Structure 1
Amino acid sequence: MAEERDILNAMEQNVKTNSLNAWILAARPKTLTGASVPVMIGAAMAYVDGGGWSAFQWLPALLCFLFAFVMQIDANFVNDYFDCLKGNDDSDTRLGPRRACSEGWITLSAMRKGLVITTLLACIIGLPLVYYGGWEMIIVGVLCVAFCFLYTTKLSYLGLGDVLVLVFFGTVPVCLTYYVVMPKALQGITWQVVVASIACGLVIDTLLVVNNYRDRDNDKLVGKNTLIVRIGEKRAEQLYAVLGLLACSLMWGIFIFSDTDKPQLSICLLFFYFQLHITTANKMKKIKQGKALNKVLGLTARNMFVFGLLTTVGILILNR
């Protein structure tokens, strides 16, 4: 993580306007873990329920990964562009990582073109999923694109960001991936998949919670009434800790009620994530405010990926 941070810091020291370097920074590579985790979990559950490698459909799984990555980049571009227009990324007051448009790394006109390209690319990648999941996939894709824009421009100011994370980083990608990767004769959504999708959304929401916790004072000044602004500092700290506990509890429930006689190893794996999560929660509570919370943001992104990896392994172990 320190090595990656050093590389990004070096990149930021010499950024030419609209260069490849600038676009890489605008894409925010660290956030891609949030896009990969739900697809990993959905694909693992499809592998177990669909009959193993012999029936596993690699192409729709790959398309789901690519769609998730491009949509995450698209969301980052949307956030960068519209927050710059609204003046929310003032370098004098901003506590989070530097943003491409506000720093002048990418011009607003170039970012508009970038938004069009990434949105179209996401649609092109997602369109073949119609073959695997039916025409309903078009509706899902349109909703993903629409709420990608609505989140930054409207809904985050109303405190609805956490709900969108639960839906579009939990329920939708996990259930969609599971559905399209399953053999057609077995397509459907089980209660285990729904529960796992909720757990996934809760874990990914920890990233939004710590992000909004860091920005709570600035958000309040500009009228951005996030959930954290509404509930306050202390409850935000409690919420962060509880989200990880709830996510683990849901997955433990799936493991306990699985068909296997020995779910113990799968259950134990998530204790490692939970320990990391509680340690990070305590660090967040100790730091309280300021740019130092960006360290907690990085640790939370790491924890998310660990959760996704350990959950995926735990699911696969159940099918041994």
Structure 2
Amino acid sequence: MPSLLLWVKVSRPKTLIASVAPILVAVKNFSDNHEVNDLSLIVLLGCLSFITLVQISTNLANDYFDWKRGADRFRGNAPERLVTTGKIEGKKVLTVVFILLILSFLVGVVTLYISSSSIWFLPLGVLCIALAILYTAGPYPLAYNGLGDLFVVLFFGLVAVEGTNYFLSSANSVPYEMHLGSAISIGLLINNLLVVNNYRDYESDLKVGKNTTVVIFGKKFGALLYLVGFLFPVFHGYYEKKILVVLILTTSAISFIFLLKSHLLKNANRALSFSALSVLIYSVCWML
């Protein structure tokens, strides 16, 4: 496989809808009461770039530090990890991670300046960048101590949606209006991507001491967490008269069936694909 394709694969492109969806939700929340002008589009591009760079950095760092910790040793039913198999050198991955995180910092600073937002968002951005590494590294990695789900919901939900909404409001000098329901909803849906992986890797994570929420509370809890992850957005969407979001019931139900049979790699992949599709459908339907 050509080198460029290997790097594309290790970035997990199928999951990058997680960076786009919160932006779509934030745009809709803002545009319901305000005009989206040229400055808004520049701010949106900055927010999207920051979120995407942090997500890709987290994905790469996750592969690298899981490899260093030996967490991939027993993952017979998981997709190929290119660092573990030696197809991509670990040191190169770590170098790319730091390059991407530096870029994300620069993008964040420029977006902060252009949008005339509060300087207090700078330490929040730095924290997000640091957590991209601390997700699987350091003395208390989030993913190894049951905090991965919380990070995903907070970053892709509250930070991505409400942060973008705030930046748009600041750039256009209009009052900021909070939309917690939609932020939590998209965060939970995106977290279902993580739940699928953790449910699939339950046995191997248990052996290597990777204490995900599924390992700590059990597979039944993981299944329940997945159900909550798509039922809350459905009920909230219905409450907000976004009736079309109920369409995710179909894709999420299909994904849930595959989740329960994710000991087979093909079923785990299908569960992940349908979960990503639910994220896309929700964000598009929210825009309508």
Do both proteins adopt the same fold according to a TM-score greater than 0.5, normalized to the shorter chain?
A: yes
Distance 2:166 2:33 in 1: 11
User: Root-mean-square deviation (CA), in Å?
Assistant: 1.8
Kindly state the Cα deviation for residue 168 of structure 1 after the two structures are TM-superposed: 0.5
What is residue 247 of structure 1 aligned with on the other side?
Answer: 233
Within a 5 Å distance, the mapping from 1:1-40 to structure 2 comes to: 14-15=1-2, 19-40=3-24
Residue 302 of structure 1 pairs with residue 288 of structure 2 = no
- Give the 3-state SS of the residue equivalent to 1:224 in structure 2: coil
The change in CA–CA distance for 1:122 and 1:54 in structure 2 (over 3 A counts) is closer
Residue 273 of structure 1 pairs with residue 253 of structure 2 = no
Higher Cα radius of gyration: 1
Q: Is the 8 A contact 2:234 2:245 kept in 1?
A: yes
Q: Is the 8 A contact 2:157 2:187 kept in 1?
A: yes
Q: Name the % identity.
A: 30
Distance 1:58 1:136 in 2: 22
Distance 2:194 2:111 in 1: 29
Letter in 1 for 2:253: I
Q: 1:124 aligns with which of 98, 106, 121?
A: 106
What is residue 289 of structure 1 aligned with on the other side?
Answer: 263
Q: 1:74 aligns with which of 52, 57, 71?
A: 57
Please list every run of 5 or more consecutive structure 1 residues that lacks an aligned counterpart in the other structure: 1-13, 256-265, 314-320
Per-residue deviation, residues 158-190 of structure 1 (Å, max 9, x unmatched): 111111111011000000111111254314232
Kindly state the Cα deviation for residue 55 of structure 1 after the two structures are TM-superposed: 8.0
Q: 1:83 aligns with which of 66, 86, 90?
A: 66
After superposing on structure 2, the runs of 4+ consecutive aligned residues of structure 1 that deviate more than 3 Å are 53-56
Kindly state the Cα deviation for residue 150 of structure 1 after the two structures are TM-superposed: 1.3
Kindly state the Cα deviation for residue 299 of structure 1 after the two structures are TM-superposed: 1.6
Distance 2:20 2:112 in 1: 21
What is residue 150 of structure 1 aligned with on the other side?
Answer: 134
**How many aligned residue pairs are there?**
281
Distance 2:262 2:7 in 1: 32
Letter in 2 for 1:39: I
Kindly state the Cα deviation for residue 93 of structure 1 after the two structures are TM-superposed: 3.1
Please list every run of 5 or more consecutive structure 2 residues that lacks an aligned counterpart in the other structure: none
Letter in 2 for 1:136: W
Q: Is the 8 A contact 1:95 1:290 kept in 2?
A: yes
Distance 1:240 1:204 in 2: 10
Kindly state the Cα deviation for residue 117 of structure 1 after the two structures are TM-superposed: 0.9
Letter in 1 for 2:17: T
Distance 2:251 2:91 in 1: 42
Distance 1:32 1:38 in 2: 11
Distance 1:246 1:308 in 2: 14
Moved more, 220-229 or 273-282: 273-282
Q: Is the 8 A contact 2:258 2:270 kept in 1?
A: no
Letter in 1 for 2:249: F
Kindly state the Cα deviation for residue 310 of structure 1 after the two structures are TM-superposed: 1.3
Q: Is the 8 A contact 2:70 2:208 kept in 1?
A: no
Within a 5 Å distance, the mapping from 1:92-171 to structure 2 comes to: 93-131=75-113, 132=115, 133-153=117-137, 154-171=141-158
TM-score, normalised by the number of residues in structure 2: 0.91
Distance 1:240 1:212 in 2: 11
